[in-house]
Structure 1
Amino acid sequence: MLTDIKRIGILRALNLGDLLCAVPAFRALKAAYPGAEISLIGLPWSRAFQSRYRQYIDEMIEFPGYPGLPERDCDIDSIPVFINDMRSRRFDLLLQMQGKGTIVNPLVHAMKARYTAGFRPDKTEGLFLEYPDRLHEIHRHLSLLKHLDIPVQSSALEFPLNAADYAAFGEINDGLTEHQYICVHPGSKGAWRQWPTPYFAAIADYLAEKGYKIVITGVPSETGIAEEVLRYMRYPAVNLAGKTTLGSMAVLLQKARGLVSNCTGVSHLAAAIHTPSLVISMDGEAFRWSPLNTQLHQVVDWTKHQEYDYVIKQCESLLERTEYVLL
């Protein structure tokens, strides 16, 4: 393990699910270097993430984007300023946890940390590990720490809740009874990851027939797809799409009987909150993103099982084996 590490930078300018899957690595890194100041180089929304995980991440530095990366529009003129800022921070260790490194490795090397480590698309060399394509996202980042001889702890996700989260939930809760409702989340960052809305409506009706109240959820940009599901449904449902904060959504999930969703940020949130979930994986990468707790979560790889009846059977199995959650 590298020694005399006082300042650590982590490049991971990605979305909610990506950051949640990196929490076990953040936790292990802080345990290995408890006195180090750890900075997350991320997207603007990550400030809220950093403030929630202060026990692991001390600071959030806004990433201005970079040519070839799709996560945000790139301001070319800001890149030299950003690089100079990173150099001035004199990181002892800079971790590239953005991806394979084809695009960003020249950037992280330009930041001139004392040690630079991360992934690379080809063979392992020095502090850089060949990108492990077939590993789960959580284990991928833990494998990088192992490569650096950093002790790895648990692979479990976590999502700390606070009083503000419960207060925000109270503002949107209109008569929901704990464990008597199921959240249905039909949206996803990419359209190719979205199970068709008629199927979401059908499974919502199936659960409503079983006596559960249905709560449709989504971020503000997903209100349209939520309304589409509602139009297909035969049973009434509560529409909270666009009305939740990240914290109130987490409390909503914590008190729910379960979640039905695409493989997206909210499915990782349910895994961190330990709420049973039925996750439909549309992109053939279930091996990479599925919740690790297969007792509490059921994933359907739609590229292999494109039958609605199969999904219903998996839903029935999940409900049966997670009854203990209510005890």
Structure 2
Amino acid sequence: MILALRALGVGDLAAAVPALRGLRAAFPDHTLALAAPTWLTPLIDLIGGVDRVVAVADLSPAPLPEAEIAVNLHGSGPQSHRLLQAAHPAKLWAFACPEAGHLDGPSWNAEEHEVQRWCRLVRHYGVDADGSDLSLIRPAAAPVKGATIIHPGAKSPSRRWPVERYAAVAKQLRAEGHRVLITGSAAERDLAVRVAEHAGLGTDAVPRTDLGELAALVAYARLVVSGDTGIAHLATAYRTPSVVLFGPMSPARWGPPARPQHRAIWHGTRSEPGDSMEPGVHPALLAVRPGEVLDAAREVTGAAAQI
């Protein structure tokens, strides 16, 4: 068995797809297991090639299955290294971490793009990984096709563009003929409803979706406008035109690939080591104006029509 650890969220999982595909190709006769939160299973199924999901959340100590090779696609250690070491794999593939007693891996580079980081890790151990292989399996159907999705939520307040600005974009896009939907997780529904109300949209514009349905909406969408969060990575995976608004993190670390149908907007000067710890929206995100987002939306949808 090959056991990979990636116990994080939607965008994190999407960024690890090329490395997981590399492992699948390198070990076609082995079981490929992914240690991850089970709520991600609908998305894991869309990667293809993962044979088993092992339930892990927040790196909580849990019995992991025996593996010939354990691959840490989660972080630099030491906690994630130790979680895998506790399963006593024959080999551990991970970034060098003296605190965990693991010295043979490559060095960690905090400024590296997240996709390339994990490709570099598995390449260090002889596995070929194509960083451009970000696609997911396209669902057979979607609740709505051709919608423009505006997703105002994000994990931290520092990455949430103000409600009234999202609403201004939604209102103008609807005036230009877009069918606008405002999406969010169950915990973000109140936020999505506020955006819809400010934009003059009814509650029918705020669908209730599980993760699989959200992926299907994105796969068949006309456009996605969001902050630096998981749905932006789904748009990349399906080559759906997207405009992604960045705050504390530079798109050089988490942004979409250089394609005409994707646009990252960032007015920062450097990446923070993590999400800003200050309350409220990050200043780089506050510097983004609705008109700039609308111009980018028109450009990426126009570019997609030419592909």
TM bucket normalised to smaller? 0.7 to 0.9
Residue number among 100, 105, 111 corresponding to 2:76 in the alignment: 100
Q: Which has the larger radius of gyration?
A: 1
Deviation, structure 1 residue 207 = 1.7
Q: Summarize the Cα distance change of 1:122–1:280 in structure 2 as closer, same or farther, 3 Å threshold.
A: farther
The residue that corresponds to 1:182 in the other structure is: 148
**1:118 maps to which residue?**
94
CA positional deviation for 1:325:
2.7
Amino acid at match of 1:143: R
Match of 2:190 in 1: 224
Runs of 5+ unmatched residues, structure 2: 270-283
What TM-score do the two structures reach when normalised by structure 2? 0.85
Percent of matched pairs sharing the same residue: 26
Shift of 1:247: 2.7
Residue 303 of structure 1: CA displacement?
Answer: 3.4
Consecutive aligned runs of 4 or more in structure 1 exceeding 6 Å deviation: 122-125
Structure 2: how far apart are the matches of 1:64 and 1:317? 37
Contact 1:127 1:147 in 2 (8 A): no
| Deviation sequence 1:229-254 (CA, Å, 0-9, x none) | 12322x43564545123232233223
Indicate whether 1:288 and 2:253 are aligned. yes
Q: Give the aligned partner of residue 316 of structure 1.
A: 295
Code of the residue aligned with 1:142 in structure 2: it is C
2:49 to 56, 68, 74: 56
Tell me how large the CA RMSD over aligned residues is.
Answer: 2.5
Q: Which residue of 1 aligns with 2:272?
A: none
Matches within 5 A, 1:13-162: 13-53=7-47, 55-63=48-56, 65-66=58-59, 74=60, 79=61, 82-83=62-63, 85-86=64-65, 89=66, 91-120=67-96, 126-162=103-139
Distance 1:242 1:12 in 2: 29
What is the Cα deviation at residue 294 of structure 1?
3.6
Shift of the alpha carbon at 1:116?
Answer: 0.5
Q: After TM superposition, give the deviation of residue 319 of structure 1 in Å.
A: 1.9
More displaced stretch, 237-246 vs 25-34: 237-246
Distance verdict in 2 for CA 1:121–1:210, change over 3 Å: farther
Figure out how many residues of one structure are paired with residues of the other and give that number. Answer: 290
Distance 2:263 2:91 in 1: 40
Q: Which amino acid aligns with 2:94?
A: G
Question: For the Cα contact (< 8 Å) 1:219–1:241, is it kept in 2?
Answer: no
Which of 171, 174, 177 in structure 2 is aligned with 1:208?
A: 174
CA contact (8 A) 2:119 2:131 kept: no
CA distance in 1, matches of 2:252, 2:303: 26
Deviations 1:202-251 (A, max 9, x none): 11122223232321111111111011112322x43564545123232233
| Aligned-residue offset at 1:149 | 1.7
Contact 1:12–1:96 under 8 Å retained in 2:
yes
Do the aligned partners of residues 247 and 116 (structure 1) sit closer, same or farther apart at CA in structure 2, a change above 3 Å counting?
A: same
For structure 1, list consecutive stretches of 5 or more residues without a partner in the other structure.
1-6, 67-73
Q: 1:284 to 1:127 in 2, by over 3 A?
A: same
TM-score, normalised on structure 1? 0.80
Inter-partner Cα distance in structure 2 for 1:64 and 1:290 = 25
1: CA distance between counterparts of 2:246 and 2:46? 28
Which whole-Å CA distance do the structure 1 matches of 2:211 and 2:87 have between them?
32
- The alpha-carbon distance between structure 1 residues 302 and 199, as it changes in their structure 2 partners (threshold 3 A), is farther
Deviation at 1:307, TM superposition (A): 3.4
